[in-house]
Amino acid sequence: KAGVTQTPRYLIKTRGQQVTLSCSPISGHRSVSWYQQTPGQGLQFLFEYFSETQRNKGNFPGRFSGRQFSNSRSEMNVSTLELGDSALYLCASSLGSRSTDTQYFGPGTRLTVL
Amino acid sequence: EDQVTQSPEALRLQEGESSSLNCSYTVSGLRGLFWYRQDPGKGPEFLFTLYSAGEEKEKERLKATLTKKESFLHITAPKPEDSATYLCAVLTGGGNKLTFGTGTQLKVEL
């Protein structure tokens, strides 16, 4: 079974731009969660989508948004990029029917903001 | 607010030298504790899930245990390929939000 895939793997943007990251979950998984990983803060939860609805949200500003499509693929968008948004963005998928289902992570998208 | 603390931050072992990593947590209503392994430049790889105090899980040289306040990841006779950052995370409240510790960076040398 193919794992979680994320595209692109690397991105370089400048301050003020916006960016869209994509995540394809494991086949059959309906929940997709997004996390931001930085050396200073570690892994922090951004939001979770299940059946095209945002089910949970972390403490990030409104510049961070996401959506999920009917095939469970998800995108996250960051508008008006700031230097501090440089991070590894990780997507995780799970079956989603129970919230205790294991989350499996993709390889991440490395975003650099200049 | 849920808190997860991992210790030590970094650990250097000789091949075959067994040790334990600690994950202590302060949460309201633990619904699951997860261990992941992360190699540089890659996403976390799932290792174990523990749901209740007293539970233990094993996989090759790794064994995870859980009490009401902490979890241990025991590494028996480690090999260089066990070198990685080990992350623990707790699931609390509603939904699928994992709260992560900052990890233990393990290096196993020949």
CA B46 to chain centre: 10
Task: Give the tens place of pLDDT for each residue, B57-100.
Answer: 999 999 999 999 999 999 999 999 999 999 999 998 777 889 99
Strand-pair partners of B7: B22
Closest by CA to A88, choosing from A56, A53, A40, is A40
Interface of chain B toward chain A, CB-CB under 8 angstroms: 31-32, 34, 36, 42-46, 49, 51, 87, 89, 91, 94-103
Q: Do residues B86 and A48 touch, judged by C-beta distance below 8 A?
A: no
Tokens of A72: 């469970």
Record: contact A4-B43, CB cut-off 8 A? yes
Residue of A nearest to B85 (CA): A42
- What is the residue-averaged pLDDT of chain B? 95
The answer, yes or no, to whether residue A99 has pLDDT greater than 70, is: no
CA A21 to chain centre: 7
Q: How far is the C-alpha of B19 from the C-alpha of B72, rounded, in Å?
A: 10
Look at chain A and count its residues: 114
Record: contact A55-B96, CB cut-off 8 A? yes
Q: How far is the C-alpha of B91 from the C-alpha of B67, rounded, in Å?
A: 15
Closest by CA to A67, choosing from A80, A81, A77, is A77
- pLDDT for the residue numbered A2: 84
Closest by CA to A30, choosing from A96, A99, A92, A104, is A96
Task: Give the tens place of pLDDT for each residue, A55-85.
Answer: 889 999 999 999 999 999 999 999 999 999 9
Instruction: Please tell me chain B's helix, strand, coil percentages from 3-state DSSP, rounded to the nearest 5.
Output: 5, 60, 35
- Which string of DSSP letters, residue by residue, matches A52-95? TEEEEE-S--TTEEEEE-TTS-EEEEE-S--GGG-EEEEEEEE-
Mean pLDDT within B43-47 = 97
Residue of A103, A104, A109 to mutate, testing the B interface (most B Cβ within 10 Å of its Cβ): A103
- pLDDT for the residue numbered B93: 76
Record: contact B44-A105, CB cut-off 8 A? yes
Task: Give the tens place of pLDDT for each residue, B89-109.
Answer: 999 877 788 999 999 999 999
Closest partner residue to B43 (CB to CB) among A31, A50, A107 is: A107
- pLDDT for the residue numbered A7: 97
- pLDDT for the residue numbered B96: 80
Closest partner residue to B97 (CB to CB) among A42, A45, A108 is: A45
The answer, yes or no, to whether residue A40 has pLDDT greater than 70, is: yes
Closest partner residue to A48 (CB to CB) among B43, B46, B97 is: B97
CA separation (Å) from A11 to A7, A15, A23, A113, B12? Answer: 9, 13, 15, 8, 33
The answer, yes or no, to whether residue B37 has pLDDT greater than 70, is: yes
Q: How far is the C-alpha of A79 from the C-alpha of A71, rounded, in Å?
A: 25
Closest partner residue to A103 (CB to CB) among B51, B98, B101 is: B98
Percent of chain B's residues with pLDDT above 70: 100
Residues of A in contact with B98 (CB under 8 A): 33, 35, 43, 45, 103
